[in-house]
Amino acid sequence: MRVYTHPACLDHQPGAGHPECPARLEAVTGALRAAFPDLDWREAPQADRSALLRVHARELVARVLDRPVEGLVRLDEDTAMSPGSPEAALRAAGAVVAAVDAVLGGDVPRAFCAVRPPGHHSTRDVAMGFCLFNAVAVGAAHAVEARGLARVSVVDFDVHHGNGTQDIFASEPRVQYVSSHQSPLYPDSGALEDRGVGNLVNQPLPPRTGSQEFRARWRERLLPAIDAFRPQLVLVSAGFDAHRLDPLADLELGGEDYRWLAAELAALADRHAGGRLVSVLEGGYSLAALRECSVAHLRGLGAG
């Protein structure tokens, strides 16, 4: 198992007391190093601007990369940039591109991108919800546009719906987007009826949903949808904020649920994609839950 990360991802500072803090990434990388001493750690490169422009408007890319950042610059009430944010965002997106190339090139079957800021709320032209660039979308577009894949599944189990990923790919039949998420909850998107061009599969979950119902919805509806799509590559938006300890949401999952789902996704990747799967850290705001769930997730994917 290969893990991509970079120290620059710790330099994104969205403000004192902000839940999306550098300690999140330190918790994940520390837990993974302790649990899996044989992981193949790699430094994430910076994404090329051309890779960003496949999924983001030129104006958004320029807003993040080209304007001087002094102190704290707020993009909205939840999303801010510091002087270290542009490189952190470039490294996060670059990690996913490098991981996609590694698994498609046969270097490794699976990879995990331990990066921040998260990305799945960033739409084609708006940075929002703690997110600057949509790293998983950059990776999916790279897979279909640069590497020529015909079917890529983006699987998102973050407690918040990945409205940005849906926005970017709603009209792209080569990319399937499959999501479970709490509803009602920010960003108030991801309705059951959203179908795109037949490539969107959303499963809203009510507050207090626990393990049994979560697994049932994946087993009965979401996993079969991925199976039917027969992806040549599986990308995962791995948010761990549906854990019962998370302070920003109200689902009741535990680490074993994340291990179970990772194993199911790995089996799908084995069946259709030659095992090729890339997972990307998204949300999760309890440090204890991040440690537990990141280790459980990689165990499910076959690490250790």
DSSP string, the chain: -EEEE-GGGG-----TT-SS-HHHHHHHHHHHHHH-TT-EEEEPPPPPHHHHHTTS-HHHHHHHHTS---S-EESSSS-EE-TTHHHHHHHHHHHHHHHHHHHHTTS-SEEEE--SS--TT--SS---TT-SS-HHHHHHHIIIIIS--S-EEEEE--SS--HHHHHHHTT-TTEEEEEEEESS-TT----TT--TTTTEEEEEE-TT-BHHHHHHHIIIIIHHHHHHH--SEEEEEE--TTBTT-TT---BB-HHHHHHHHHHHHHHHHHHSTT-EEEEE-----HHHHHHHHHHHHHHHT--
Structure tokens that stand for 28 in this block: 């994940």
How many angstroms separate the Cα of 290 from the Cα of each of 62, 71, 144?
32, 28, 31
In sequence order, the 6+-apart residues with CB closer than 8 A to the CB of 254 are 211, 243, 244, 292
Determine whether 181 is an active site residue.
no
Q: Which of 56, 121, 160, 243 is catalytic?
A: 121
Q: What residues are annotated to the active site? A: 121
